[in-house]
Structure 1
Amino acid sequence: MRSWLGTLAVLAVFGGAMAGPAAAEPGAPGTALSPDHFGVLAGSTSAPVQLEIFCDPQCPECAKFEAASDSSLGRHLAAGDVAVTYRWMTFLDARRGNDVSARVGNALMAAADPATSAASYQGFVGELYRRGGTPSLQDIADTARDAGLPAPVVERIGAGQPAVDPGSMNAYNRVQLLAANPEKPGTPTVYDINTKTVVDTGDAGWLDRLVQGS
């Protein structure tokens, strides 16, 4: 499904996150920017289950998905048997006349860091959706701290340091979403990279079954 948009490569100049999987603790799966710089890889590229999750920070259906799946995702990310590339989108800003998705999306990209574990990143994602609303930079930074993200990352988020151009990120990730789920290109979409299929997340055991079948 991957299509490289060369005109967007300029985005590599944004952000302080480093590419290449790393871990906050020895042996713990870490986080990094995806090679195209428009996603966050939580976990290792060697994990047997590789997923892409497309979400907008203001999407109510994404909030429902995270409420149902956050615990399972965090458990499997910590165990190292699942890796997730989160692809954040910002299309709801235009519909709602605000910049919440861009602000939260930038923070979620800024959280990709060698010191941020995959499980704590998932905790950050889940808690942002749980709290909802229209968070300020300080609110987002407080959520990052409460999720256990490293202090330098929390400070970077609180300062609003640019990590990505939100409009270009949305445009690039929309191309990937259309390729992954052309029939229903909405959020949330969970895509199994190994089988090249959209995952049915309709019941609580969906991730356990993927892991057991890998």
Structure 2
Amino acid sequence: MSNSPSDYTPRPMSNRTTYALGALALVLIALIVVFAYRWGGGQEAEVRNDGYGPVRNAAVTAALQSDGGVRLGRPDAPKTIEVYEDPMCPACGHLETLYGQELAQKLDEGKLAIRYRFVNFLDPKSSSGDYSTRAIAALQCVAETGSGVTYSKFHDTIFTTRQPDEGSELTDDELLTIATESGATEPARTCISEGARIAEVKNQAPGTLEDLKAALDGDAATPSVFDVATKIDVNEPDWVQQLAP
């Protein structure tokens, strides 16, 4: 085999070709970034029905159920969905911020009811180690008195504008203040201040977590929304409208 150097000398690339390839590379990079942003959930979502606020129709009731769930809606609502949430869950707060007002209007119109199922597996993310449990207990205290308007205001506030960051929390006094501002009656306020439902929540939450795992084939992710046994894709912007036209 000859070791002599090759007689082939590559032609230098023209400036025009270099610029064209560079431009093509930039376009490809831009497309990759756009698709990654969209598919990765980075696309800024629109707040649905912004300005409506929480439930306003007094015909909407709140009912505390034996397993710790809370049904919110008019008694004759034709469809009930289940929403699994943890009060410390940032994604749950995001869901409520984006779709809570649209859901509130559907509740007011009697097209939909919601059964909230609460889990407390994010307790360790709070500074006290039990915020999720205390917040769920407060939600139950407010629901127990039956007012859907009051419950909706309280739920909306502690999941959106007043939801604590991980590593912090709302104190019992702060939960009580928010409940009072939402219209909670004296029995509800006493229930919160005395922590009357905390032990019950601790007993109920493991069962709710097992229900969530069973519905998700062993996973435990919040928020999770179900129409009977069908999991709803809440990344689809029109999911509320599709459930209750």
Larger radius of gyration: 2
Same fold (TM over 0.5): yes
Verify the 8 A CA contact 1:137 1:159 in the aligned structure 2: no
How far did residue 142 of structure 1 move?
A: 1.4
Aligned to 2:234: 201
Over the aligned positions, Cα root-mean-square deviation in angstroms equals: 2.3
Match of 1:101 among 124, 132, 135: 132
Hey, what does 2:106 align to over in structure 1? 76
What's the secondary structure of 1:54's corresponding residue? strand
Q: 1:187 to 1:26 in 2, by over 3 A?
A: closer
Contact kept in structure 1, 2:61 and 2:75, CA below 8 Å: no
Secondary structure of the structure 1 residue equivalent to 2:80: strand
1:116 equivalent among 129, 140, 147: 147
User: Aligned equivalents of 2:109 and 2:185: distance in 1?
Assistant: 20
1:64 to 86, 94, 97: 94
Moved more, 166-175 or 145-154: 145-154
Q: CA deviation at 1:127?
A: 0.4
- Partner amino acid for 2:238? G
In the alignment, residue 77 of structure 1 is paired with which amino acid? L
- Residues 156-187 of structure 1, C-alpha deviations (whole Å, 9 max, x = no match): 22332226523322211012112322265300
Going from structure 1 to structure 2, the CA distance change for 1:86 and 1:155 (only over 3 Å counts) comes to: same
TM-superposed CA distance for 1:153, in Å, is 1.7
How far the C-alpha of 1:32 sits from its partner, in A, is 1.1
Aligned to 1:155, the other structure's residue is in SS state helix
Could you say which residue in structure 2 is the equivalent of 1:156? 191
Distance in 1 (alpha carbons) for counterparts of 2:184 and 2:230: 32
In 1, Cα distance between the equivalents of 2:241 and 2:119? 26
TM-score by length of 2: 0.67
Aligned-pair identity (%): 27
Q: Alpha carbons of 1:154 and 1:205: their partners in 2 closer, same or farther (altered >3 Å)?
A: farther
Q: CA deviation at 1:114?
A: 4.2
Question: Residue 31 of structure 1 contacts residue 113 of structure 1 at CA under 8 Å; is this kept in 2?
Answer: yes
Moved more, 144-153 or 66-75: 144-153
Contact 1:116–1:150 (CA under 8 A) maintained in structure 2: no
**Matching residue of 1:33:** 64
- Count of residues in Structure 1 that have an aligned counterpart in Structure 2: 184
5+ residue gaps, structure 2: 1-55
Q: Secondary structure at the match of 2:63?
A: strand
Change (3 A) 1:30 1:145: same
Gaps of 5+ in 1: 1-24
Asked if the contact 2:60/2:75 (under 8 Å) is kept, the reply is: no
Residue 161 of structure 1 aligns to a residue in which SS?
coil
Q: 2:177 is matched with which residue: 142, 164, 181? A: 142
Would you say the 8 A contact 1:74–1:123 is kept in 2? no
Distance in 2 between residues matched to 1:166 and 1:60, nearest whole Å: 21
